[in-house]
Structure 1
């Protein structure tokens, strides 16, 4: 890929990280990346990525956080990125229950990050990863010392003509009729030629093109298409569960939301923040869903806010 910036981050990553695999609760293996000197680290930050995401997408973030005082651990969720896929069609985003994601994160915390060493541990969760990280800490509030959530998936925008309750009802019916492994209506396999114009993820054309190239490269090894009806059913259940359990997430939580986010709902994030014992919500004008691959004017502020929060704990 003819991308000087990505090559710089890739060379830095190759010199400082080791990639390995862990058994997944969903079957197969999950891929992780950890700094080679992690054993000496006093502070660890685990990146819990969103749906469709993968290690290579976070190299810029890892590089920007290299002087934050935290050793960053990354991993790919079961069924996406460089982890084993769950269906014969490897581009279908599928899971039967988010509890499988939760168990995988616990495995990464215990096995890779070495939580038993009682280092300071923080979680950074984006979108779906925010749901997963929050569920983990609702179950075990003392597992981490703090949580950063960027555009957490607490509500999925379905448009003004499709109320979420109606969508969830249809999803449940389709799953009961045996369609859980089919693509959700209106979605399909990964498309490498999706136009930047009107995309809901980022206002940065250069970073958007990089994401598309990464997924299209190497025989589409990293590519993931739309979610299945089964994934949607599991997502609705998980979002309901964590919205009700917000008060159980007792560690300090920083929530970051773009005011132009069309993927997840801001009102649900605001309500979640009000229910947290120690939550702070920061809003970014012009920011879309992918705040860590946004335009520099937004992204630089996001990275700065994350570093300040990490340093305050």
Structure 2
């Protein structure tokens, strides 16, 4: 099977990144994605990879792709980020051709021979000359103007019987008690959602993924729920580990998200955001806020 050539990957301009407020952002389709792509953000994305893996017992997927009639030949990872999932999937399934796409060319050069990457905007029309057996996406809540459009593109790009799986973190946080009420963290989440809407993004779509897939025409749709505590207050070794990682993920991500969303979407100044984030970080470090982010894993297949 041949992959279509990536004309975007051949353009040197995609590597000419944009720097704003001390953070680096993608050049291709500038402003389409509001989080940075610099080394700090890449480290955070790799941490999230391990969080998802740890959450679902070191599995790269939950969709039953091992029983695909005709085998697993072509795989697509949308919003591949650093390409870590695609690289590990290619190693685990050496007979599959794995393609990762993203707005940012931040993936490694040395990857398994059955893995490659391209710069692409998956909200555009998909022009692949072949069908995929499995399409995967993760942590895409912030990415699209229309999740329906992207999930519909995936449906059309699947071969009959092929699977689409999306793993994502829902916002706002869920509070177990009153410890989050009136905190800077609660206000930060509220401002993030408001800023996203001002920029034409609805960051709260994750709980609707199952309904979206069913409306498009996917069948045998399954939704599984997990959660990531913010901090180490939760009981059990696994939850404490996830909580510690979630705290680090939160702390390393709030500056980039805030600069990308609150400055542009809400009109806050950089100085106002930085002062605000001091209180947010203090709340996160306090370990007294008993809240968690819901994690949804949703998958369905294209009917025969």
Q: TM-score, normalised by structure 1?
A: 0.34
Query: Higher strand share goes to which structure?
Result: 2
Q: TM-score, normalised by structure 2?
A: 0.35
